[in-house]
């Protein structure tokens, strides 16, 4: 980890970039000239490798037609499984435990339908009040489908400050009436990293199935899902993994659950060798492949091939190391340059608790984000007063961080944010 910052110059930022072993990967991405992109925790940038793999799979359609399902470099019929194998090291899983399939919300529905089995007094689902809305919508839907009132059967652990969760509160809520737990690995606003190993251990002590939403952690922090005994997990691939807008998502199922039928069955839940028997009785795959539902979205999966090749080369440990350096550097600069203003750093500052982005709070956050965008710094606004800034290890530089803080200081010094309304756009 970097020592306490004492040199706040641009020259120092450039020195850090010269010493950065990952600096060369910036050239792999389409970084627009003059733009500092700090929104990779919402949508990662396009890489040249992702573009190439998309074009390769488009060409396989052109060249092979229907034979593309079994021909070419990446046969479509096995694409979800082969990418699951490549993605497994990012979540610390066995190759057969990971599948590239569905979307985040579809995978939540699939996994809750598969693992939520109310029995006797165990009827409740435990989540948290800071979770991303789609998770809560899906949980409420699944409760209703089982005939339960979400007002009574969905427990949302409360936050004391609206930004962070106390893990002791989560553990205390693991009561005898809880059947299943779904939590974020990293909170989407504050970037707090939850101790997944500890929470899994505590849940299992009480006989409760537990899963995690990894949308804000995959590609940013290491995981050891299999070692920790996590029952299931899900994630999107368009943030830190740079799979493209609406790219196909991913899921993990611990091998101890293999052999169970999926809650939502579909054709691609089948064992591969049985799928074209066209039998009306499903023979589910004996791997995480059973949790697929429909036909793979080949062209929306294709960019992930190119993106994953970089993660395979670099390794998640190196990415995490640089990510922590970038976010620590940004916090140091913010404290030094912006102390005169009303900014609050509301993300955890400890390395083991901080995800891949900085979360600043300010009463004029929506205005400030608009001003930053007009200055070619791309942030992310989260109501009511949050500014998320995500310097991404593979394509952001230390000079990007330095420049962005200087621009933010210029906006505050000149009160340039007052030229904008303090309200979010349709898409924030």
283 annotated to bind ligand = no
| CA–CA distances in Å: residue 165 to residues 44, 89, 121, 211, 335 | 26, 27, 26, 17, 24
238 annotated to bind ligand = yes
Query: Cα separation of 229 and 252, whole Å?
Result: 11
327 annotated to bind ligand = no
Q: Does an H or E element contain 87, and which?
A: helix 79-91
Query: Cα separation of 180 and 184, whole Å?
Result: 14
132 annotated to bind ligand = yes
336 annotated to bind ligand = no
Do residues 321 and 16 touch, judged by C-beta distance below 8 A?
A: no
Positive or negative, the Cα torsion across 61, 106, 216, 347? positive
352 annotated to bind ligand = no
- 258-263 contacts at long range (C-beta below 8 A, 24 or more positions apart): 258/96, 258/286, 258/287, 258/288, 258/290, 259/286, 260/114, 260/290, 261/290, 262/110, 262/113, 262/114, 262/290, 262/291, 262/293, 263/110, 263/111, 263/112, 263/113, 263/114, 263/115, 263/116
Query: Cα separation of 235 and 100, whole Å?
Result: 9
Tokens of residue 172, six digits: 């205390």
Whose structure tokens read 């000239």? Answer: 33
134 annotated to bind ligand = yes
277 annotated to bind ligand = no
59 annotated to bind ligand = no
* H helix count then E strand count, the chain: 14, 13
Instruction: Enumerate the known binding-site residues.
Output: 104-105, 132-135, 213, 216, 238, 267, 295
Instruction: Enumerate the known binding-site residues for pyridoxal 5'-phosphate.
Output: 104-105, 132-135, 213, 216, 238, 267, 295
């Amino acid at each position: 980890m970097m020592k306490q910052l004492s040199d706040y110059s641009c020259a120092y930022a450039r020195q850090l970039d010269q010493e950065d072993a990952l600096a060369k990967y910036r050239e792999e991405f389409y970084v627009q000239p003059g733009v500092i992109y700090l929104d990779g925790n919402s949508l990662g940038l396009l890489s040249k490798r992702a573009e190439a793999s998309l074009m390769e799979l488009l060409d396989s359609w052109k060249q092979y037609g229907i034979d593309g399902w079994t021909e070419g470099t990446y046969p479509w019929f096995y694409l979800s499984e082969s990418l699951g194998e490549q993605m497994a090291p990012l979540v610390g899983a066995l190759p057969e435990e990971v599948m590239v399939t569905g979307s985040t919300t579809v995978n939540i529905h699939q996994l809750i339908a598969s693992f939520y089995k109310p029995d006797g007094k165990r009827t409740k689902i435990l989540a948290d009040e800071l979770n991303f809305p789609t998770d809560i919508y899906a949980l409420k839907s699944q409760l209703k489908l089982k005939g339960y009132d979400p007002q009574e059967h969905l427990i949302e652990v409360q936050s004391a400050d609206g930004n962070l969760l106390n893990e002791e509160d989560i553990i205390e809520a693991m009561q005898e009436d809880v059947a299943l737990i779904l939590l974020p690995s990293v909170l989407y606003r504050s970037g707090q990293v939850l101790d997944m190993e500890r929470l899994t251990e505590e849940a299992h002590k009480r006989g409760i199935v537990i899963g995690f939403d990894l949308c804000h952690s995959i590609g940013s922090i290491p995981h050891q899902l299999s070692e920790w005994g996590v029952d299931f997990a899900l994630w999107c691939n368009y943030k830190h993994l740079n799979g493209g807008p609406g790219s196909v998502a991913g899921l993990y199922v611990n091998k101890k659950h293999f052999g169970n039928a999926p809650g939502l069955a579909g054709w691609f839940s089948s064992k591969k060798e049985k799928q074209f028997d066209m039998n009306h009785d499903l023979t589910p795959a004996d791997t995480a492949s059973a949790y697929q539902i429909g036909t793979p979205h080949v062209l929306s999966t294709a960019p992930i091939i190119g993106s994953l090749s970089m993660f395979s080369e670099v390794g998640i440990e190196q990415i995490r190391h640089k990510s922590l350096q970038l976010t620590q550097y940004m916090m140091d600069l913010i404290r030094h340059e912006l102390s005169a203003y009303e900014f609050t750093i509301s993300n955890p500052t400890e390395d083991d608790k901080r995800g891949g982005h900085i979360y600043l709070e300010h009463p004029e956050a929506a205005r400030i984000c608009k001003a930053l965008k007009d200055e070619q710094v791309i942030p992310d606004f989260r109501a009511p007063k949050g500014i998320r800034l995500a310097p991404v290890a593979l394509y952001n530089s230390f000079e990007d961080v330095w420049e962005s803080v200087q621009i933010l200081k210029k906006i505050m010094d000149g009160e340039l944010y007052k030229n904008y309304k303090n309200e979010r756009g349709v898409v924030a």
